[in-house]
Amino acid sequence: MTRRQTLHVVAIAGVVLAAASFVFMFVAMPEVDFLRHPVSIYENKQPGFTGYIIATAGIAVSCTALALTTTGWPRLVLATAALAFVVAAVFPTDPGTGVDTVAGYIHRYASGTGFGLVIIAGFLAFATTTGWRRPALLWLSVTNVVLMALVVINTFFPTFADGRDWRGLPQRLLLFTLAAVLVMLASNRASTAGSRRPREADAATRW
């Protein structure tokens, strides 16, 4: 197995670990309102604290592994996303549905930055991807933009369309559509690396 192939496996494993951790939290903590509470609420007590750290670390590892398989803007975007997710894990949000502390605001904006950068990475990959992955990446990326817009509106304008009562749903959906993008990026890199000559593969890593 080559270094690049190993990084692809690491990237996908990180996403799978993150998805499994989030599902575990959703099931193990039914007291958290699936519709009303943001996902970061799980971090405020066990077992959500451990699950959230594992999930966020999985996403950060996936972004880092993918960053190491590419160059230029994609590498910068993915590496910065990984850092943003680490910061979001280090600084927990406040209990409840509002944010009042410095740590809570850092968490909010770090999470938003990470989400936004993964969305950008998806569009960067779409621009140079061919085959069936191209329309799949486009639909995933557009869906992510819509979900991200709902998350932002419900966060900063909670009274609009009663957004505070269902703000948790688009957040949870966004987590899994972003995870799908990361898996697509990993499979795209693997396909590119396996179907081109070495020099062409190196050039293709720019997306």
- pLDDT tens, residue by residue, 137-171: 999 999 999 999 999 998 888 777 777 788 889 99
Q: What is the pLDDT of residue 202?
A: 46
Q: Where are the alpha helices (DSSP H) in 91-207?
A: 102-128, 133-156, 168-195, 198-204
Stated as kind and residue range, the H or E segment containing 86 is helix 72-90
Q: What is the pLDDT of residue 193?
A: 47
Q: What is the pLDDT of residue 86?
A: 95
Rounded alpha-carbon distances, angstroms, from residue 175 to 16, 22, 114, 161, 169? 12, 9, 11, 22, 10
Split at pLDDT 50, 70, 90, the class of 207 is low
What is the average pLDDT score of the chain?
86
| Amino acid residing at 95 | P
Q: What is the pLDDT of residue 163?
A: 72
Instruction: Give the global pTM.
Output: 0.87
What integer is the mean pLDDT of 59-86? 95
Q: Give the sign of the dihedral formed by CA 113, CA 119, CA 123, CA 125.
A: positive
Query: What is the rounded distance in angstroms from the CA atom of residue 3 to the CA atom of residue 5?
Result: 5
Tokens of 66: 């993918």
Split at pLDDT 50, 70, 90, the class of 112 is very high
